[in-house]
Amino acid sequence: MLGIQKLSPVARAVGTVGAVVALAGGVTFAALTSNPVVLADSQFSTGTAHLQIWNGANYVDGSVPGFNFTNVVPGTESSAFTFWLKNTGTTALDVSMVGSDHAFNNIADPDLVDLKFTDITTASSPSTYSIQTLEGGGADALPGGTLDPGEENQYSVTVNVNPSTVSGSSAGMTNFDLTFTGVQP
């Protein structure tokens, strides 16, 4: 206490006022703290991606019978096989395809067997892929662009076999599956 008495009265007054202000500020801060409030039970869900194929009567999940071209003349494009896809989800989809599970008979090079796909609904430019490209592990885009929610498009596919890959009196392919998948753009 002797140290405080040696200070000038003005310094003691400033120190005392400072201590009182600090004490009052601490008490005021505690008195002005609000109660907590909560934004409770928050949640979200995404849109859906759902692609279906026409089976002749309605749109279904899963598989439907594919093309069956007969009497294809090598070097000449076949007639068209048509199919329909519909986006029954709530988000737009870019549709791609992958081929698998084929068996060739008297075809030397699957890279010389082409499938040409056309989006009939949008009249977009066709896309041509070899069987080997379709089976190459990556997804290949179906022509026509994005399939919007609720939208259905009709597509066609034709086959063209290069005569140089054919041997024997006849040739063909069986057990070829095309898997279509829709992905959000």
User: Is residue 153 helix, strand or coil?
Assistant: strand
Q: What's the confidence (pLDDT) of residue 138? A: 74
Q: What's the confidence (pLDDT) of residue 145? A: 87
Helices (H), 55-134: 131-134
Whether the per-residue pLDDT at 177 is higher than 60: the answer is yes
Residues facing residue 73 across a β-bridge? none
DSSP letter at 168? S
* pLDDT tens track for 101-158: 788 999 999 899 999 999 999 998 999 999 999 988 778 899 988 999 999 999 999 9
**Which residues, 6 or more positions from 125, have their beta carbon under 8 angstroms from its beta carbon?**
143
Q: Which residue has the higher pLDDT, 13 or 151?
A: 151
Q: Which residue in the block uniquely carries the two structure tokens 């022509």?
A: 143
Does residue 144 contact residue 33 with C-beta atoms inside 8 Å?
no
Q: What share of the chain is helix, strand, coil (3-state, %, to 5)?
A: 20, 35, 45
Q: What's the confidence (pLDDT) of residue 182? A: 94
d(CA 163, CA 158): 16
Whether the per-residue pLDDT at 28 is higher than 60: the answer is no
Minimum mean pLDDT range among 21-25, 79-83, 90-94: 21-25
- C-alpha 56 chain-centroid distance: 26
d(CA 47, CA 34): 39
Whether the per-residue pLDDT at 42 is higher than 60: the answer is yes
Average pLDDT, the chain: 88
Tokens for 10? 């003005």
Percent of the chain at pLDDT > 90 equals 72
Tokens for 51? 């692609």
Q: What's the confidence (pLDDT) of residue 116? A: 97
CATH topology of domain 51-183: Immunoglobulin-like (2.60.40)
Q: What's the confidence (pLDDT) of residue 31? A: 79
∠ CA 118-177-78, rounded to 5°? 45
Instruction: Quickly state the pLDDT bin for 159 (edges 50, 70, 90).
Output: very high
Q: What's the confidence (pLDDT) of residue 117? A: 96
For the segment 82-102, the average pLDDT, to the nearest whole number, is 94
Whether the per-residue pLDDT at 6 is higher than 90: the answer is no
Shortest CA distance to 115 belongs to which of 178, 158, 156, 72? 158
